[in-house]
Each structure stands twice: as structure tokens, then as C-alpha cells.
Amino acid sequence: MTDNGDSTTHLLQGRGLVKAYGRTEALRGASAWLDAGEILAVTGTSGSGKSTLLHCLAGIVRPDTGSVSYGGERLDQLSEKRLSELRRTEFGVVFQFGQLIPELTALDNVALPLLLAGASRTESHARAGEWLERFGVRGQAGLRPGEMSGGQAQRIALARALITGPKVVFADEPTGALDSLASEQVMTVLVHTARESGTAVLLITHDAQVAAYADREVRMDDGAVLPAEVAA
């Protein structure tokens, strides 16, 4: 799709994002967009601003300047209450090390978003079990994170991110701690599930093999998306 400058043509769009932590500028005018059902890989070296871009686009942090538009709303101007609602219902976030709750079993970790949304425990567990089955980790339902392999934990984290049927999944180095075989397994399931449900995926990675799963790739350097790749 050609970017005609109208943010309404894209499901999610960040424009001119600037974000500093103290004297460190993590983003320097970065711009990127994502269409419905698209898988976008954001690549670049460590420290190039990839994770900060994801955090801004997901509404986890607010940019100092610039705008983030999603479905007709300006995320950078929304209340914390509305942002939390979006993250519970329309966004799914997967971090590099999963960030599962260590005291909860795999089943409870995956069911948690539904429980927080008000679903019954019975319904939440039933649906969580279905997602564990889909990701091939039903046998780990009763295990806690410390009892799982890295690949199992990441698949469970992905199941948790997808159980609410989000419109966008933000995946920050989801295979960064995995070996090549586990990485391939995780990416295969993520891509298949996203295609099946029409979910858009923003994938942060430094791995070219992981980026190859995406429909489109943009590269970052020194806090900015490289100019030639801001838009098609």
C-alpha cells in the first residue's frame, strides 16, 4: 500500500516520534505504520530504538512529541483508563522473555486476560486450554514458568497475547532467547494463528530469519526508521 499521508488508511501509525530517557534519545523522529492483517518486522541493531518504537505504538509509553493513531484514535492523547482497555481487548503484547507470572500455572497465565475482562473462571480455563492445545503446550498446563523450557514459555506467552482475539499483537524479540528450532516453532505458530484470525503483528527482531516471516520489513538506526523504508 502506498502511504498517502492519511493516517486513516492504516490500522496503526506513528508519525515523527521522539522519546528521550534523560539525555538519551531513544527515538528521533521515527515513523512507521501497520495495516490490518499485516505482519511487519522492525529490525536494527541493539539500541537502535526498536523496543521504544513498539512501546510507543502499543501505548505503553507516550512519545515526547509526535503522534500515534489507531483506529481513528490518537493513542498519545488517550487516558490511561482507555489505554488499559485497549491493551486488554484489542492489543496483545509479547516480550522477549515472556514475562509470565511466576506464581501462576500456564493455564492460569493464559486465562488471566479473560478473567480480568470479567469472564468466569470456567469459561476462561476452557478457552485457555484450547489455546494451549493450539500452541502444542497443553501438556504444560499445570506447570509454572520456572518448570518450563524457554520455547514452551514463549508459546504460552503468545497464547496469552492472542486469547482475547486482539487486532494487533506487539511481539518484542519473541525468539531472542530461543535456539533456532524453538524459534522456528514459535514463529510458525504465530504466523499461522495471525493469518487465521486476521491479526496484525508488529514484530521486533534482530534476526533476519525471523524477519523473513513478515510481509514487510523496516529497519531502524539511531532512533529513526531509515528514510527509504518509511513507506512503500
The predicted structure's pLDDT at residue 8? 52
Q: How far apart are CA 197 and CA 165, in angstroms?
A: 8
Residues facing residue 15 across a β-bridge: 67
Q: Which residue has the cell 486476560?
A: 113
pLDDT for the residue 2:
39
Beta-strand pair 39-43/216-221: parallel
Question: 54 to each of 13, 61, 114, 149, how far by Cα in Å?
Answer: 11, 9, 24, 26
Q: Which helix (H) or strand (E) holds 230?
A: none
Residue 228 included in any domain: no
**Is residue 17 in a domain?**
no
C-alpha span between 43 and 206 (Å, rounded): 5
C-alpha–C-alpha distance, residues 113 and 85, integer Å: 11
- Taking the C-alpha atoms of residue 215 and residue 229, their distance in angstroms, rounded to an integer, is 14
Distance CA 213, CA 171 (A): 13
The single-letter DSSP state of residue 227 is G
The enclosing domain of 208 has a CATH number of 3.40.50.300
Q: How far apart are CA 119 and CA 106, in angstroms?
A: 18
Q: Give the domain extent around 178.
A: 34-61+80-217
pLDDT of residue 230: 43
The 3-state DSSP class for residue 22 equals: coil
In a domain, 173, yes or no: yes
How many independent structural domains does the chain possess? 1
Q: Give the pTM.
A: 0.88
Q: Which three cell numbers stand for residue 81?
A: 483508563
Report, as ranges of residue numbers, the positions in the chain whose pLDDT lies below 70. 1-8, 97-98, 227-232
113 belongs to a structural domain: yes
The answer to the question of residue 25 being in a domain is no
